[in-house]
Amino acid sequence: MRNDRKERFYEMIEKYKKAPDVVSMERFVQHGNTSTLGHSENVAWVSFLVNEKLHLNADEKILVDAAILHDFYLYDWHDRKSDRTDRLIHRYNHPEIACENAKKRFEISQKTQNAIRSHMWPVSIKRIPRSKEAAIICMADKYCAFVETIRMSKHLGLK
């Protein structure tokens, strides 16, 4: 049985899990054998958990909204595998694409948009996380990417 914390988290992401474009991220591979949707959910869950466990008092809605949409760029970046330049461009540009897609489909605050835009820092050196929420997501993203790449996510209770 899910505990209260998980229950609360799933309530917060429910509307996104019902949105067809968000669901479509299930088709794209992110790292290892984790889909982009799985990765986004992992980043949202880890961010939510870290905030609560460490008593960081970040805004939960901004945190979860931005985390679930941080990689909402809607293509499979592996299709760009053959072209190194394309992959580098993806690494740098995808937060902006994700943010534009998110703005078109959902009502999200400016702070949420900023957190999406800065999640690749320090790759995107000028887009520095400037809020507690943005900093948490930026770190949770790196942690999840690592765990997914070494295919340990299932062992750590992630997707």
Sign of CA dihedral 15, 66, 138, 101: positive
Q: How far is the CB of 142 from Fe ion (least distance, A)?
A: 9
Q: Which is nearer to Fe ion, 58 or 69 (CB)?
A: 69
- The contact pattern for Fe ion, residues 61-100, with x = CB under 5 A and - = no contact, is ----------x-----------------------------
Name which of 2 and 84 has its Cβ closer to Fe ion: 84
Q: Which stretch binds Fe ion (CB under 5 A): 11-19, 48-56, 129-137, 138-146?
A: 138-146
36-59 burial, b at 16+ Cβ within 10 Å, e below that, comes to bbbbbbbbbbbbbebbeeeeeebb
Instruction: Return the residues of window 13-72 that contact Fe ion according to CB under 5 A.
Output: 71
Q: Where are the alpha helices (DSSP H) in the chain?
A: 4-17, 20-23, 36-53, 60-69, 84-105, 110-117, 132-149
Q: Does 141 bind Fe ion (CB under 5 A)?
A: yes
From the CB of 1, what's the least distance to Fe ion, in Å? 30
**Does residue 34 sit in helix, strand or coil?**
strand
**Residue in this structure with the two tokens 């049985």, named with its chain if needed:** 1
Judged by CB under 5 A, the stretch of 1-9, 78-86, 102-110, 133-141 that binds Fe ion is 133-141
For binding to Fe ion (CB under 5 A), which residues are involved? 71, 141
